[in-house]
Structure 1
Amino acid sequence: MSEAPWYSYGDQLWQATQQTIYMVFWTFAIGGVLGVALGIFLYLTSPGSTFVNRLLDRRLRHAVIVVNQVVGFVVNVLRSLPFIVLLIAIIPLTRLVTGTTLGPTAALVPLTLSIFPFFGRVVANALDEIDRGRIDAVEAMGVSIPQLIFRVLLPEARSGLIAGSTLTLISIIGNTAVASIIGSGGLGDFAIKYGYQRYNDALMYATVAVLIVMVQFVQVGGDLWLRKRAHRR
């Protein structure tokens, strides 16, 4: 019996695409919020930052810097772990949080844990690139730390954050395909079940094509956003 043509799997391919979009959206939503918070923390607690310089107690200032170094070390460790290793290592945590290790929702746990340290470092680097003179000028006006964050730091770092978000989204798309080894669903799972295991090359190529379209959509969208922002300036 001959294999059905690739286009007869349109419904399954569409469902897998929806599952991938679901995982990408929620991973970026949750990991993005955590990453921004982490990046701001790393920036504010770094030596020479506004927050650290305002601390009058030398011991407290030293303690904050030590915490920054410890958190930075943990972030670097998480970033250095290959996603497939992290995926398997935290299976007990995934089961504890979601009650299962299968499906798109279960995949959100390892996906988020893999991406928010990466995005946090992206945010911290974007904040580091802000002109120090501009920050000093605002500090001279006596602004509070929350005002500094939301009125100066985040707006000034917007271009770097947009570029970093584009890179992060593309990384998430790739990770969703890897997550298929634990039965997450999505395009990676579809490619394995219907393409690789059934020796259907056409379905494999169709899946790759959809992934390429998704990546290009994110990349082009990010580039256009950056150009639009550059023209406004």
Structure 2
Amino acid sequence: MEVSTELILKALWETLYMVSISLFFGSILGIFLGILLVVTRKGHILENKFIFSIVNPVVNIFRSIPFIILLVAIIPLTRLIVGTSIGTTAAIVPLVLHVGPYISRLVENSLLEVDEGIIEAAKSMGATPFEIISRFIIPESFASLILSITTATIGLIGATAMAGAIGGGGLGDVAITYGYQRFSTITIFVTVIILVFIVQAVQGIGNILERKIRRL
């Protein structure tokens, strides 16, 4: 059985919707946690052993849970937030909780690449912790952060495909429902090609932005 172009386009829109909304909220969560992991660690500008000892294991716990399990495990929370556990919008909740901690580790790695001499120079000029973060650490690591977000976006695209396993919609849902369950090889092939194209486009845009920022 072949699926219609209309169904494929609808699934593509659902995938892009899930990725964009999840990436937006996941990036906010991930960047906040990533900065917190860096500045509260031992020897940094806002060293706080208590906060670090809480945030670090929480991030590790969420990163260690396979997405397909997380989808099912937080169904009560998903219902509480969006009123249902099925559908494209419902899939956004576990997607955010999946990608947020992942982004936080990528952000942490990017920020730790900043030369300590820059931070010391900022301190010597009397910059506050907020100014050090916003005017020195983040700008210095911005190119690396672009690649980190690019990597997270690609991982998120793969996660949206898995969301189709519980009726999350999108290209993954089409591949499972109309491809795998109805033995339509062409449907699976088409969805895979589209996903590959999206991933290549995202990676290409990320690489271009990273190169332009490094040249500034």
TM-score range, shorter chain: over 0.9
For residues 116-160 of structure 1, the C-alpha deviation after alignment (integer angstroms, 9 at most, x for no partner) is 011011111111110000110111001112211111111111121
Mapped pair 1:136 → 2:120: yes
Count of residue pairs brought into register by the alignment: 216
Correspondences of 1:8-27 after superposition (within 5 Å): 9-27=4-22
Structure 1 match to 2:37:
42
**1:50 counterpart SS class:** coil
Moved more, 223-232 or 23-32: 223-232
Question: Partners of 2:183 and 2:4 in 1: how far apart?
Answer: 14
Q: Which amino acid aligns with 1:70?
A: I
Correspondences of 1:89-108 after superposition (within 5 Å): 89-108=73-92
Unaligned runs of 5+ in 1: 53-63
Question: Partners of 2:157 and 2:186 in 1: how far apart?
Answer: 21
Unaligned runs of 5+ in 2: none
Structure 2 match to 1:67:
51
Q: CA deviation at 1:67?
A: 2.2
Structure 2 match to 1:124:
108
Question: Partners of 1:195 and 1:181 in 2: how far apart?
Answer: 12
Question: Partners of 1:181 and 1:204 in 2: how far apart?
Answer: 14
Moved more, 37-46 or 16-25: 37-46
Question: Partners of 2:14 and 2:29 in 1: how far apart?
Answer: 22
Structure 2 match to 1:224:
208
Q: CA deviation at 1:50?
A: 1.3
Q: CA deviation at 1:230?
A: 2.8
TM (norm. structure 1) is 0.90
Question: Partners of 1:231 and 1:160 in 2: how far apart?
Answer: 13
Question: Partners of 2:74 and 2:141 in 1: how far apart?
Answer: 33
Q: CA deviation at 1:94?
A: 0.7
Q: CA deviation at 1:229?
A: 2.2
**2:110 counterpart SS class:** helix
Q: Which amino acid aligns with 1:140?
A: S
CA RMSD of aligned residues (A): 1.1
Mapped pair 1:197 → 2:181: yes
Conserved 8 A contact 2:144-2:210: no
Structure 1 outlier segments of 4+, above 4 Å = none
Structure 2 match to 1:61:
none
Question: Partners of 2:183 and 2:108 in 1: how far apart?
Answer: 45
Structure 1 match to 2:67:
83
For residues 17-43 of structure 1, the C-alpha deviation after alignment (integer angstroms, 9 at most, x for no partner) is 000000000000000011111111111
Question: Partners of 1:35 and 1:199 in 2: how far apart?
Answer: 39
Mapped pair 1:31 → 2:26: yes
Q: Which amino acid aligns with 1:88?
A: V
